[in-house]
Amino acid sequence: MTKVWAHRGAKGYYPENTLISFEGAIKQKADGIELDVQLSKDGYIMVCHDETLNRTTNGKGFIKNYNLYELKQLDAGAWYDKKFKGEKLPLLDEVLELIKGTNMDLNIEIKAGSIFYPGIEEKVIKMVNKFGIKEQVIISSFDHYALLKAKEIDNTIKTGLLYMESLYKPLKYVKTIKVNALYPNYITLNKELVEEANELNVDINTYTVNHEDDAKLIKQLDINAIITDYPDIVKNILENN
Ligand code: G3P
Ligand code: CA
């Protein structure tokens, strides 16, 4: 059965990429969690979607310009709702701790915006191995060089190729870049792509499906995972409708 992965946690109900959002996803019985990582000035792996603090914390400026101590002083919950005041920017370690001992998947997206973090792939893989949960983890990125690098570091780590528009013959590309999964925007999903991927044992994890009608259509396709802000709703559609 298609799995449901909680996008930045259960983002539809909680401040994204916070521990309470990940705990919410667990409560909603999501099969996995998706999160985004950036590096602090002193090299810690911080969980945050944006490379800047402005939108989701009470801080300002780039994460890469602050050390862990400074980042941990910030509030990452009140911007969403004052009842979440006191939520912090999590370290990747804290989420690994949460996932360890569950049977959930963890999708770590290495962000590729205007900033690149040299060595981030190695740091992430090292941390995942430290917790001994490599089988539960998949690293995804829009930065396909990061995926290549991850496989160079550890060819047993799972990787997934994020893309936005339709790609021409994506499964040929999969062979070249040796990823385990394709992450098509759900708008570009089609039966042929899914069938070809399944034949070649390549997972399809689609994003970000937040409308019930879309989830119902995607349910007809045999894909590995749906990434959504509303894990409870999508789970219910997959299991009951
Ligand atoms: O993994 C799917 C999705 O998270 C990619 O887009 O911008 O939400 O990180 P974004
Ligand atoms: Ca993401």
Contact 15, 79 (CB under 8 A): yes
Instruction: Note the Cα 29 to chain centre separation in Å.
Output: 17
Q: How confident is the model at residue 114 (pLDDT cuts 50, 70, 90)?
A: confident
pLDDT confidence band for 113 (50 / 70 / 90): confident
* Closest residue by CA, ligand 1 atom 7: 49
- Which pLDDT score is estimated for 76? 98
**Residue 15 parent element (H or E):** none
Residue 36: per-residue pLDDT: 98
| CA 198–ligand 1 middle distance (angstroms) | 23
Q: How far is the CA of 120 from the centre of ligand 2 (A)?
A: 16
Tell me the C-alpha distance between 92 and 227, whole Å.
19
Dist. CA 109 → ligand 1 center (Å)? 8
Helix, strand, or coil (residue 171)? helix
Round the average pLDDT of the chain to a whole number and report it: 97
Q: Tell me if residue 37 falls in helix, strand or coil.
A: strand
Residue 179 pLDDT greater than 80, yes or no: yes
Segment 84-99 mean pLDDT: 98
For 117, phi then psi, to 5°, come to: -110, 100
Closest ligand 1 atom, CA of 140? Answer: 1
The tokens for 125 are 């893989």
Ligand 1 contacts CB of residue 198 (under 6 A) = no
State the catalytic residue, choosing from 3, 8, 11, 49.
49
Handedness of CA 10, 12, 14, 16 (dihedral sign): positive
End-to-end CA distance of the chain: 14
For residues 237 and 201, give the distance between their C-alpha atoms in angstroms, rounded to a whole number.
25
pTM of the model: 0.98
**Pocket test residue of 208, 210, 234 for ligand 1, highest count of atoms within 8 A of CB:** 208
Domains in the chain with CATH codes: 3-37+102-240 (3.20.20.190)
Q: Is 117 near ligand 1, meaning CB less than 6 Å away?
A: no
Is pLDDT above 70 for 153?
yes
Q: In what helix (H) or strand (E) does residue 23 lie, and over which residues does it extend?
A: helix 19-27
* Active-site annotation holds for 144: no
